[in-house]
């Protein structure tokens, strides 16, 4: 028994500002043709859902139009980000309420044969106690199922003992709280706009690339590969997991550093 899952990430979609629409359309066609059992959207569905109903509603509709059963969790461009990071869009009750109204819960549990998927919002772990109830319950009654965490930010840049506080990974304190619940059998994430698949600290971790753009080397260190596409996963009922990066022909390799009209000038971000 195999559950085939398509992971798409970081579409950054907007009807009014359609910079990445053509790339998403090509990926959507490839995912539709693959006929997955389930699709996971791992955050930054929208260009600016953190401030725009229209962007978030459009992005949700564009993903739904692929026609697969699908689940989604938010990214920083959908709900804002951890307040301690000091960005201009701190996650708050209004932003989370917009996500819930237009996209659904920010944390959820979904079982497939042999596995339990726990979706969570890495942008609000320090300020949103409500989602911890979902995450903790998901761990508590997982039974013999393997737990896979589905999230926007990667667990860590390098190792779970990292102490750096920055824009890219889950913050150290909530990371420790997550791992105190158990050791996940797999973590799927997006956010970095780099493809990377590795086992670190004994945990298999897959970073999906964006469907839309990369962040050039002037602005972001290279940890994985700066490519575009989507990821196909095979979850076996016996606990095995396989994955493949799927390239899509004809994608434009946008570099956000060279597109200041999207989010303004990109400043160098530490990794």
CA nearest 218: which of 261, 157, 269, 154? 269
Stretch that binds Fe ion, among 73-81, 99-107, 162-170, 223-231 (CB under 5 A): 73-81
Q: Which of 42, 76, 131, 205 binds Fe ion (CB under 5 A)?
A: 76
Output the CA torsion sign for 82, 86, 89, 94: positive
- For residue 191, state whether it binds Fe ion (rule: CB under 5 A): yes
Please state the closest distance from residue 81 (CB atom) to Fe ion, in A. 8
Please state the closest distance from residue 144 (CB atom) to Fe ion, in A. 33
Please state the closest distance from residue 10 (CB atom) to Fe ion, in A. 4
Q: Which of 6, 39, 40, 44 binds Fe ion (CB under 5 A)?
A: 44
Stretch that binds Fe ion, among 52-60, 173-181, 187-195, 263-271 (CB under 5 A): 187-195
Stretch that binds Fe ion, among 10-18, 94-102, 217-225, 251-259 (CB under 5 A): 10-18
Closest to Fe ion by CB, 44 vs 232, is 44
Please tell me the number of Cα atoms within 13 Å of 112 on its side-chain side: 24
- For residue 75, state whether it binds Fe ion (rule: CB under 5 A): yes
Please state the closest distance from residue 35 (CB atom) to Fe ion, in A. 26
Give exposure, 213-250, as e/b (b: 16+ Cβ within 10 Å).
Answer: bbbeeebbeebbebebbbbbbebeeeeebebebbebee
Closest to Fe ion by CB, 10 vs 232, is 10
- For residue 157, state whether it binds Fe ion (rule: CB under 5 A): no
Q: Name residues contacting Fe ion, limited to 115-144 (CB under 5 A).
A: none
Please state the closest distance from residue 230 (CB atom) to Fe ion, in A. 14
Binding site for Fe ion (CB under 5 A): 10, 44, 75-76, 191
């Amino acid at each position: 028994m195999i559950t085939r899952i398509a992971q798409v990430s970081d579409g950054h979609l907007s009807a009014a500002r359609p910079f990445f629409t053509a790339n998403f359309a090509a990926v959507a066609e490839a995912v539709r043709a693959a006929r997955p059992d389930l699709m996971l959207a791992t955050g930054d569905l929208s260009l600016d859902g953190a401030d725009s109903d229209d962007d978030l509603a459009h992005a949700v509709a564009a993903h739904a139009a692929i026609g697969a059963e699908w689940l989604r969790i938010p990214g920083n461009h959908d709900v804002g980000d951890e307040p301690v990071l000091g960005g201009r869009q701190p996650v708050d009750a209004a932003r989370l309420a917009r996500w819930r109204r237009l996209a659904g819960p920010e944390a959820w549990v979904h079982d497939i044969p042999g596995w339990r998927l726990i979706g969570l919002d890495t942008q609000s772990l320090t300020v949103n106690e409500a989602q911890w109830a979902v995450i903790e319950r998901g761990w508590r009654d997982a039974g013999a199922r393997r737990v896979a965490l589905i999230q926007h930010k990667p667990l860590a840049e390098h190792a779970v003992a990292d102490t750096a506080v920055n824009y890219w990974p889950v913050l150290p304190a909530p990371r420790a709280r997550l791992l105190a619940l158990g050791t996940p059998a797999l973590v799927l994430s997006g956010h970095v706009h780099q493809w990377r698949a590795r086992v670190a600290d004994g945990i298999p971790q897959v970073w999906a690339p964006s469907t839309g753009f990369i962040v050039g080397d002037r602005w972001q260190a290279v940890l994985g590969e700066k490519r575009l596409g989507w990821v196909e996963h095979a979850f076996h009922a016996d606990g095995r997991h396989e994955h493949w990066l799927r390239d899509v022909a004809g994608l434009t390799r946008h570099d956000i550093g060279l597109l200041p009209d999207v989010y303004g000038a990109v400043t160098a971000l530490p990794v």
